[in-house]
């Protein structure tokens, strides 16, 4: 990070919380949207949701319990 950015960061961190949140929102809004073929309101996103719903309702993909999912996730992280 440049020296100017470091100085700016230090100054920003001294602002009250409400002002830091405003700056954060402005910076986040200035970032380009990530390329994502499954962005909300995209036809591909809706098609993927429909496909997954149909698989689940037909029994082809019964899914799994959340507790099992999180247990497997914890095991993978160890």
Assessment of whether the complete model's pTM goes beyond 0.95 = no
Domain ranges of the chain: 1-31, 36-78
Q: 62: which 2 tokens?
A: 């019964």
- Distance between CA atoms of 27 and 8, rounded to whole angstroms? 13
Tell me: the pLDDT tens digits for 20-50? 999 999 999 999 877 766 666 778 888 888 9
- Distance between CA atoms of 22 and 15, rounded to whole angstroms? 10
Whole-number pLDDT of residue 78:
84
Pick 6 or 1 by higher pLDDT.
6
């Amino acid at each position: 990070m440049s020296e100017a950015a470091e100085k700016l960061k230090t100054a920003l961190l001294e602002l009250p919380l409400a002002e830091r949140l405003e700056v954060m929102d402005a910076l986040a809004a200035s970032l380009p949207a990530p390329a994502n073929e499954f962005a909300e309101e995209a036809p591909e996103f809706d098609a993927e949701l429909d496909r997954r719903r149909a698989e689940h309702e037909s029994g082809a993909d019964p899914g799994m319990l959340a507790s099992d999912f999180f247990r497997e996730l914890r095991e993978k992280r160890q």
